[in-house]
Amino acid sequence: MKIDLNLFTVFEAIYLEGSLTRAAERLNLTQPAISHALSRLRERLDDPLFVRQGHKMRPTPLAQKLIPDIQAALRQLNGALQQSHHFNPAEAEKTYRVAMRDVMEATLLPPVLKGLDNIAPNIQLASVHIERRDMESKLASGELDFVVDVLLPTSEQIYKKKLLNDELVVIYNPALSQLPEGFTEEEYLRAKHILVSTRASGPSLVDYALSAEGLNRNVALRCQHYYAACQVASDNGMLLTMPSRYASILLQHFPTLQRSSLPFKTSSIDVYLYWHESLNEDGANAWFRDMLQQVLETHQPLLQAS
């Protein structure tokens, strides 16, 4: 059975957008053209593929079954076509969409943007937030080019390489915390702590490390961002445990705060770059990976945890 490959591009767009109108906008086509393509595909596959529920086009069980293979095939075809053309960063006009947390935004974006200005003036970068559970699907669909995050469990379709390693340090106001230099584990646990997380509940990396030793700390505040946590820590005696690289950046803005090593051992924090296997040989994708590695190596003294 011969089927126009363009029909599968329309199929994917409808699946991702849940709307014929938005699918048409995504592909820069008219809505009648999208409707005609869907009708042809419905006829060939003998299935409605999408049914309207309210304002959304919901995929049928057959569509749900087909979408992973169709997306993989489209990504591979796109990668093969792009690979046939040499990627020239000096002339290319492209936007890379990279998912990362705010900690990595502050650490990576300044040196990366400086590097792009010098060698790829028309390249744009979009840093976005996603839920970790959506990482694989968004990389597979092409909605994201890369993800920068800690070590996460992934399938074989997701490639990764380590970018940086970091460690946890304690940030506090020595005038208000009443803690001596080189404070002990017991003094650390007795103090009040700030926990930073975008999740509404649950332990942090520090709490996991403590629980492994049968220990618990006194969390007095849970907030979403380290900058706000530093503002709180600078005005009272609470302790903030955070990644050392980001602490080096924030401490420049909070002269009353100082850092100290944790009074107990924890594992290092490794940061990885993730991408989908279908783009592993893509020239634009490979160039960005190499560029990022070179930028980090060039700016290693600036990024070094201390």
3-state DSSP assignment of residue 261: strand
Q: What is the pLDDT of residue 82?
A: 59
| DSSP characters over 33-78 | HHHHHHHHHHHHHTS--EEEETTEEEEPHHHHHHHHHHHHHHHHHH
Count of structural domains within the chain: 3
Q: Do 161 and 278 share a domain, yes or no?
A: yes
Residue 150 lies in a domain: yes
Place of tokens 């409808």: 14
Token code pair at residue 163: 């970018």
Place of tokens 């040989």: 281
Q: What is the pLDDT of residue 239?
A: 96
Q: Do 162 and 172 share a domain, yes or no?
A: no
Q: Do 130 and 279 share a domain, yes or no?
A: yes
| Local confidence pLDDT in tens for the 306 residues of the chain | 566 778 888 999 999 999 999 999 888 889 999 999 999 999 989 999 999 998 899 999 999 999 998 888 888 777 666 554 578 888 888 899 999 988 889 888 988 998 888 889 899 999 999 999 999 999 988 899 999 998 999 999 999 999 988 889 999 999 998 888 888 999 999 999 999 988 888 888 788 878 877 888 999 999 999 999 999 999 998 999 999 989 999 999 999 999 999 888 877 888 999 999 988 888 889 999 999 988 888 765 445 444
Are 45 and 70 a contacting pair, CB within 8 Å?
A: no
Are 99 and 128 a contacting pair, CB within 8 Å?
A: yes
> Would you give the distance in Å from CA 163 to the centre of its chain?
13
Return d(Cα 305, Cα 156) in angstroms, integer. Answer: 31
Query: Which amino acid is it at 294?
Result: Q
Q: Do 241 and 278 share a domain, yes or no?
A: no
The residue among 83, 108, 141 that closes a domain is 83
Supply the range of the domain harboring residue 192. 168-261
Q: Do 160 and 274 share a domain, yes or no?
A: yes
The residue among 55, 83, 111 that closes a domain is 83
Q: Do 157 and 273 share a domain, yes or no?
A: yes
Token code pair at residue 268: 């290092």
CATH number for the domain that contains residue 16:
1.10.10.10
CATH number for the domain that contains residue 174:
3.40.190.10
Q: Do 74 and 25 share a domain, yes or no?
A: yes
Residue 89 lies in a domain: no
